[in-house]
Amino acid sequence: MNDRPTQPFDRDLLRRRRLRAAGSFASADFLLRRAADDIAARLDATLRDFPVAVDLSGQGGIMSAQLHELERVGTVFACEDALPLLAGNPSASVVCDEELLPFAPRSLDLVVSALKLQWVNDLPGALAQIARALKPDGLFIAALLGGNTLTELRQSFLAADAELAGGAPPRVSPFAEIRACGALLQRAGFAIPVIDAEPLTVRYADMFALVADLRAMGATSALALRHRQPLRRDVLMHAAEIYAERFADPDGRIRATFDVIHLSGWAPHESQQKPLRPGSARQRLADALGTREIPAGEKPR
């Protein structure tokens, strides 16, 4: 019988780490603030009202505060999976798991999530629940960490483990790929999906400063299949040496990549634009371009 867990993340461990880091989160909330700023800017450019909104990134109230500043957004509900993480949030609080949303079908005008959905075990299921909770022509907009996030840290630990421990246990969480995110939006039933990525480079004095920020975020690895043995000091120190050798700038500071993927999609509505049927065009492209159409198989002169 196979007793290995089938889900990538230990959600209970993740919750405990986020609760433990709640007191220091403000010292390392720059990524969440950047994601919240970007989401707010995109919403501000959307010419429609959102009477009822849900923020699935309730920690610190950073995203909720941005939503309250937007005139087109009405009542905001902030969601977290533990009540202490909602402390100081300006919105009405809802304690729930992102993988089991409590909202009625077609009850919400807007759902936003800033840097939270990369930790769910069932991203397709979570997206399907969000789509179901949105009213027709409701909007989902999110930012999550993508595949190249912490690639330098991952490569450094892989090399150090291979050299000193004779293996390479996973030590950095996996993140979604941008192509997969687009397919998942369509699979969940969203219309007019839009996906783009923004790689951010953050510089640190050394690898230990990066790890300190990850701990303050509550974002250290919570893999279900994580290595159960304590990290050996020689492996840790060698990983820091490899990091400094391979990923340092001329001034000696190291680089850390955070690959932020932005997603948006609308709940289907009859008023939305739809693609034309193949063959329904009323004008030939060649006529519009003022050129001659070359039949298939004919060589251009």
Q: Is residue 199 part of a domain?
A: yes
Q: Is residue 278 part of a domain?
A: yes
Q: How many domains does the chain have?
A: 1
Residue 299 class from Cβ within 10 Å (0-12 exposed, 13-18 middle, 19+ buried)? exposed
Q: Is residue 132 part of a domain?
A: yes
Do 171 and 226 form a contact (C-beta atoms < 8 A)? Answer: yes
Nearest to 201 by CA among 258, 251, 240, 154: 258
Q: The domain that contains 103 carries what CATH number?
A: 3.40.50.150
For residues 161-178, give the mean pLDDT. Answer: 85
A 10 A CB-CB count for 279 gives: 5
Do 200 and 261 form a contact (C-beta atoms < 8 A)? Answer: no
A 10 A CB-CB count for 67 gives: 26
Range of the domain at 74: 11-150+174-203+256-289
pLDDT band at 268 (very low <50, low <70, confident <90, very high): very high
The 10s digit of each residue's pLDDT in 101-135 is: 999 999 999 999 999 999 999 999 999 999 999 99
Q: Is residue 159 part of a domain?
A: no
Q: Nearest 5 degrees, angle CA 124-CA 29-CA 67?
A: 65
What value does the mean pLDDT of the chain take? 89
Q: Is residue 191 part of a domain?
A: yes
Residue 299 amino acid letter: K
Do 171 and 162 form a contact (C-beta atoms < 8 A)? Answer: no
Nearest to 257 by CA among 247, 272, 270, 246: 247
CA dihedral sign of residues 95, 225, 256, 141: negative
Q: Is residue 209 part of a domain?
A: no
The 10s digit of each residue's pLDDT in 1-40 is: 445 556 889 999 999 999 999 999 999 999 999 999 999 9
Edge-to-edge strand ranges of the sheet holding 254-266: 92-95, 73-80, 50-55, 108-114, 134-145, 254-266, 191-204
The 10s digit of each residue's pLDDT in 201-210 is: 999 999 999 9
Least confident of 63-77, 93-107, 136-150, 161-175: 161-175
Q: Is residue 212 part of a domain?
A: no
A 10 A CB-CB count for 294 gives: 11
| CA atoms within a 13 Å half-sphere pointing along the CA-CB vector of 146 | 21
Report residue 42 CA to chain centroid gap: 16
Q: Is residue 243 part of a domain?
A: no
